[in-house]
Amino acid sequence: MIEYILLGIIQGVLEWLPVSSEAFLVIFSQIFSVNINFIDIALFLHLGTLLAVVTFFYRDWINILLLRDMEMFRFIFYATTASLFSGVPIYLLIRRTAVGPYILFIIGLGFLITTALNMKISQEENIAISQTKLALLTGFLQGIAVIPGISRSAITMFSLSMGRLKPQDILKLSYLISVPVVILSTIYLTINNPIVLNAWPALPTAYITGLATLKTLLTIAKKLKTYILTLILAILTLLGALAIIIFP
């Protein structure tokens, strides 16, 4: 049981950072000799951090579910649809492979480019991308993050940083759009590989550490300019990719 508790802590801390929690969960699942498909357990543990997102943003979710915030409802709907379109076939193809660290390097370089652009161009002067296009692009990229080594947070934050969004809104949207996909993937895994339920001890620790880490990151983001946020994300993304390559 202790190994699942430790995996839950890893998920709760790393889920919100651009370092691919899935990849690290796969690595530590192998170290702990967990007798569950590594990718499946990594996806299942997202249920713990999902509960953290729902708890932290419960007012937003009430407004979304009651259709009081139609703009957010549409954004999440489009993003989820695009995620399923890209993520399902990729999951079925690469369930036993890991090719993400090198793509994570590319994302890190993309963050550096975005940082440079945000330093030179004020938020008001940025070329706007429509919310629908931003949602579809972000959702499509989120689906690709099913590949171990590609950080869901990194790839969605990178996409969202191309819109007219404040740092705290980039983080918030990245976390909100994960919820429907995690719910659907959990249902699929429970039906097709019920052995993942053996990892339930990881969920409480993922929830508690996830909630604490989420609150801390959003508090910090409110004090940052967009280019500083993207620079930090670039550094963390590149370090995360390097760590995965060094410790495969």
For 134, other C-beta atoms within 10 Å of its C-beta total 21
User: Using CA atoms, how far apart are residues 118 and 127, in angstroms rounded to an integer?
Assistant: 11
What the block records as the tokens of 180 is 């429907």
User: Using CA atoms, how far apart are residues 229 and 224, in angstroms rounded to an integer?
Assistant: 6
Q: Which of 95, 81, 75, 21 is nearest to 52 (CA)?
A: 21
| pLDDT, tens only, 150-183 | 678 878 888 888 877 888 888 899 999 999 998 9
Is the separation of the CB atoms in 165 and 221 below 8 Å? no
| pLDDT, tens only, 183-239 | 998 898 888 888 888 888 889 999 999 999 998 888 887 777 766 776 777 787 777
pTM reported for the whole predicted model: 0.77
User: Using CA atoms, how far apart are residues 156 and 176, in angstroms rounded to an integer?
Assistant: 11
* Amino acid (one-letter) located at 102: Y
* Amino acid (one-letter) located at 193: N
User: Using CA atoms, how far apart are residues 162 and 184, in angstroms rounded to an integer?
Assistant: 27
| pLDDT, tens only, 109-158 | 656 665 665 555 444 444 557 889 999 999 998 998 777 666 788 788 88
Instruction: Work out the angle between the directed axes of helices 226-246 and 167-176 (0-180°, nearest 10).
Output: 50
User: Using CA atoms, how far apart are residues 184 and 209, in angstroms rounded to an integer?
Assistant: 23
Q: Which of 246, 214, 242 is nearest to 108 (CA)?
A: 242
User: Using CA atoms, how far apart are residues 63 and 71, in angstroms rounded to an integer?
Assistant: 11
